[in-house]
A and B are shown apart, each in its own frame.
Chain A
Amino acid sequence: MSVLVDENTNVLIQGITGSQGKTHTKLMQEYNVNLVAGVTPGKGDEKIYGVPVYNTVMQAKNEHQIDASMILVPPPFVYSAACEAIENGISLVVIITEHVPIQDSVKITRLSQKKNITVIGPNTIGIISPGKGKVGIMPGYIYSEGNIGIISRSGTLTHEISSNLTYKNYGQSTCIGIGGDPVIGLDFIKALKLFLKDPETELVVLIGEIGGTNEEMAARYIKNTNYPKPIYSFIAGQTAPEGKKMGHAGAIVSKDMGSAQSKIDALKDAGVKTFDTLEELIKSIEINF
């Protein structure tokens, strides 16, 4: 078991003929992902490392069973590509692209809710169930199979914690980069609900960062449901000066909610173990798990 992605997940790449598309086609094949097809309008009948390319998602679907799509198209084309995947009923849509117009993300998120489709991202590294499969751009070998579920807004912090855990022989069930934008599909709460039902996941690591209220809302959910699995948490940006915008991460310290302290307090109050550094978090896992 794992969450959303396993060894049977058949994957499509939208934007497979671009430079990122080609690179990650190869890297996914190296990770033994069932990469069955690609889509780029106007490039139908081409092949990328042996993977057949179609003009539309429907045409790809006519020929293959597709369970997930990874979107690697440039920002102006994301809206159309994501809607195409959702309208065609692909149950998992992962939008890797960053700098997607926020109102496009709003529309994509709303459409996905209506059609009951899981959208991860935008602005994410995607999702990996180590040893089984991935719909994402993470280097597979720094992840390893095990029982820790990881949810993170930051892609590189997902790499960081997973590679460190892997090095210390703690594997992961599934790692989800939920994305760094203010408006995203799958959020902390939905991810926690998925891990709750996954028998393989025995512990959840939740990596947040300043800005937004996603962590506070997750804390409320954890408290209200008396979430039964242990959660270890780290919030990035504890030393960020107030009012400074740190990159594109939606990380703006403004009101009461959104600051590192507000998130840490809310999570602590919900019984979550919080740590000043990832190193401390890992050490605590070594002691307790």
Chain B
Amino acid sequence: MKCYEYEGKKIFKDYNICVPKGQLVKNEKKAVDFFKELSTPCVLKAQVLSGKRGKVGGIKFVDNLIELKNNYEKVKNMKIYGEKVKNILLEEKLNIKREFYLGITIDPSVKGPVIIFSSEGGMDIEKIAEKYPGEIIQYNLYGDMKKYNFYDMLSSFNFDNKLMLRLGDVMNKLTNLFFEVDASTVEINPLVLNEKDLLIAADSKLVIDNSALFRQQALNLEKKSENISPFTKRAKEAGLSYVPLEKKGNVGSIAGGAGLAMATMDTIRYCGGRPANFLDVGGGVSEGKMSEALKIVASRKNVRGIIINVFGGINNCEFMAKGIEKAIEEDKIEKEIVVKMRGHFQERGWKILEKLNIPIIKHGTTEEAVELLMRNLEGGQSNNVSSS
């Protein structure tokens, strides 16, 4: 789960990583009150999950009350990359002497977390890597890091002793945070050195591993009202992994497993169709879950045919077939369907589908199944497709 900047900073504070003085300001009056309290130039920051908000005006510097009032509503009413601004963070403006980059993420190629530091900050790490390739260090992290490990990592830079100690300290704290809150990514960019030679996290990017949320309840993270369509929301509630693709997509797909779901999409395109969606039913598919999956894909307006491509491995073919039956009966689905299904309890599953007169690919490939669907669509059998 992605955290808002203010949530990340709250957690930074818990780990004694300095952040600018700031407050979430729910309305203009609160903003004015806090601005007066700080009595210093400030910055209004839209709290959204997407990056690069500064580029579209999601960050505004305000030096006086007039500027604050002028900009508060502006930022509040913004939509940033499709995401509505729910909250604004008002913070003191930092006096920047120098900017650094510090981040920790999981690197699959080393099967563990890596810490990345650069003596240049304030831009994307990809850009830093491009522009200042010599100014980046990257090291593997282990669960039992000591402060001296970080001092050693910093030895390739010619920092004065005081700065080296302070940077090592922030690295150590961020490492502890990373492990303890089950982060999959944490980033401070920029990490600012201010006029008093203090290191302050000017921004926060924190992603908590979704699979670990069960043991991170204490973080009390805000539920994110994701910018998703009603279909996606419905799919999520049913425990399905659903990604809508092009609106004009004419072939819907339901598959078991992310790999097969992607391969099914690829095959639809390969056979001349336009994939409307990605849908992975995942494991533990009940009758109800499969039924929801089919109802969701079938209710897509431009979808004329649907390919269902599943295995009875962790799932059960009989339950899945019953789910298909349920959806067709309850939603009166008349779109062309081809099912490719085999595995545990396949005979029982096939029997149910045969009764419904749904074409089944019992032994063939995904391509055969998609080709059959495309043929059936062309063959005019799709005349009875409802126009809803």
Contacts and interface: CB of A to CB of B under 8 A. Distances in A.
A182 B259 contact: no
A148 interface: no
A47 B346 CA distance: 28
Contacts of B259: 152-157, 180, 207, 209, 236, 249
B112 A250 contact: no
A213 B311 CA distance: 27
Contact of B313 (A104, A107, A138): A138
B230 interface: no
Interface in A209-238: 209-210, 212-214, 217, 234, 236-238
A239 B276 CA distance: 12
Contacts, number: 179
Interface string A183-198: 1100000000000000
A59 interface: no
Given A125-B314, A156-B313, A239 B266 contact: yes
B367 interface: yes
A274 B103 CA distance: 36
Contacts of A99: 210-211
Contacts of B255: 156
B258 A248 contact: yes
A213 B313 contact: no
A121 B366 CA distance: 25
A175 B283 CA distance: 20
A249 B269 CA distance: 21
A198 to B, nearest CB: 24
B134 interface: no
Given A102-B211, A155-B259, A217 B184 contact: no
A248 B256 CA distance: 12
Contact of B109 (A154, A155, A217, A247): A217
B143 interface: yes
B313 A159 contact: yes
A240 interface: yes
Contacts of A110: 111-112, 142
Contacts of B252: none
B203 interface: no
Given A100-B211, A247-B241, A247-B280, A164 B258 contact: no
A246 B344 CA distance: 26
B113 A101 contact: no
Contact of A76 (B215, B266, B343): B215
Contacts of A182: 106, 108
Contacts of B256: 156
Nearest to A185: B111
Interface stretch (A4-12, A35-43, A275-283): A275-283
Interface in B64-110: 106, 108-109
Contact of B209 (A102, A125, A217): A102
Contact of A139 (B106, B258, B312): B312
A251 interface: yes
A217 B312 CA distance: 32
B314 A20 contact: yes
Contacts of A212: 108-109
A137 B283 CA distance: 12
B364 A164 contact: yes
A130 to B, nearest CB: 15
Interface residues of A, number: 64
A156 B257 contact: yes
Nearest to A210: B262
B342 A139 contact: yes
A268 interface: no
A1 interface: no
A20 to B, nearest CB: 7
A151 to B, nearest CB: 12
A239 B275 contact: yes
B312 A278 contact: no
B307 to A, nearest CB: 13
A34 interface: no
A282 B266 contact: no
Most chain B CB atoms below 10 A, which of A102, A104, A251 = A102
Nearest to B316: A23
A250 B108 contact: yes
A17 interface: no
Interface string B316-335: 00000000000000000000
A199 interface: no
Nearest to B267: A277
Given A102-B212, A103-B212, A236 B182 contact: no
A110 B144 CA distance: 13
B136 interface: no
B270 interface: yes
Closest 3 CB pairs of A and B: A154-B259, A156-B257, A247-B258
30 contacts: A76-B215, A101-B209, A102-B211, A137-B313, A139-B342, A154-B257, A154-B258, A154-B259, A156-B255, A156-B311, A159-B313, A159-B343, A167-B363, A180-B259, A182-B108, A183-B112, A207-B259, A213-B108, A214-B109, A217-B109, A238-B266, A240-B262, A244-B278, A246-B262, A247-B280, A276-B266, A277-B263, A277-B366, A279-B367, A282-B365
Given A248-B258, A277-B367, 12 more contacts: A75-B214, A101-B211, A125-B313, A138-B313, A159-B260, A159-B342, A160-B260, A240-B262, A240-B278, A246-B278, A247-B261, A277-B266
Interface of A: 20, 27, 75-76, 96, 98-104, 106-107, 109-110, 125, 137-139, 142, 152-157, 159-160, 163-164, 167, 180, 182-184, 207, 209-210, 212-214, 217, 234, 236-241, 244-251, 255, 276-279, 282
Interface of B: 106, 108-109, 111-113, 126, 142-143, 179, 182, 184, 209-212, 214-215, 241, 243, 245, 255-263, 265-267, 269-270, 275, 278, 280, 282-283, 310-314, 342-344, 346, 363-368
